[in-house]
Structure 1
Amino acid sequence: MSTPMSWLARVSLCVALTLPAVAAAPAMADTQQRVTYKTGSRAAQAATTPNVSTTDLQCLSEALYFEARGEGSQGQRAVAEVILNRVDHPRFPKTVCGVVNQSGQFTYKKGRIRERGAYARAQQIAKAALSGAPRNLTDGATYFHTPAVKPKWSRKFERTARIGSHIFYRSDRRMASN
């Protein structure tokens, strides 16, 4: 079986095994927070209020703030895609906080949030990403870096996009080395 098919088979199996647990999720409702979007009527708002874990929201918001605060919203959405692509990938931790806090993966050191407006924007982007916004900016990227650095791994992985001041790579397809 090819690597993408093998990965797809594992993901399908994981989904099949976790669906019964998801159906039983109301027991864990105290760890969830309702996210609301202003879309007009209250009925429209009620239809677009998925549950988002407050822990995942905080971890993703902080990662976007510290990693991509200077980027436009598209650049921040692309970084959120990478983090969520990693959560879905079998070689990375299975939670947003696990991915964000994985040793040696992100350059920021958690610090004090000084720009409240920038953090609010990062939080809105994080909410949308965790609520299932389409991931169509990075073509499945699981890595990124700025042009100021050239990590060794960047020669081995397929480059998928450049958005703002970040270059994105997919790790599932290795490039031939000469």
Structure 2
Amino acid sequence: MASSSSSSLSRSSWLYHVFLSFCGEDVRKGFLSHVLKELKSKRIIPFIDNEIKRGEPVGPLLVGAIRQSRVAVVLLSRNYASSSWCLDELVEIIKCREEYQQTVMTIFYEVDPSDVRKQTGDSGKAFDETCVGKTEEVRQVWMQALKDVAGIAGYHSSN
């Protein structure tokens, strides 16, 4: 029975090649459009949140899309941690990485990986503001997910 959870995510259950996790405010109008153009030119099927129909509950749909994606690409930016949605997505992405060996790629967009890992600089300020009114448990889970993702060798937008 223990092996059923890891085997439940198989190649046949992938609906998307890539799940993109990003802060729209930072990347949607510029960088993201270039990423999507490149993915589509290579016939890579991404899930992005504009595919969500208005009126649908977002949380379960995003969790399902993450679990049904072969690869998760996390576009870490200055305001990524200002969104509890992004942070919740990130927790699920890290969970899928650990439980299902989902490939996770990071792109640091105009943000220093160290700031993300240590929650300092603009990223840290955004994180602190998002944590206002949250429990210490939620804060710790989000903090660990940020540390984990920032520890993955990734790409920097300046390169």
**Structure 1 length-normalised TM:** 0.26
Give the structure with higher Rg (CA). Answer: 1
Higher relative contact order (CA 8 A, sep 6+): 2
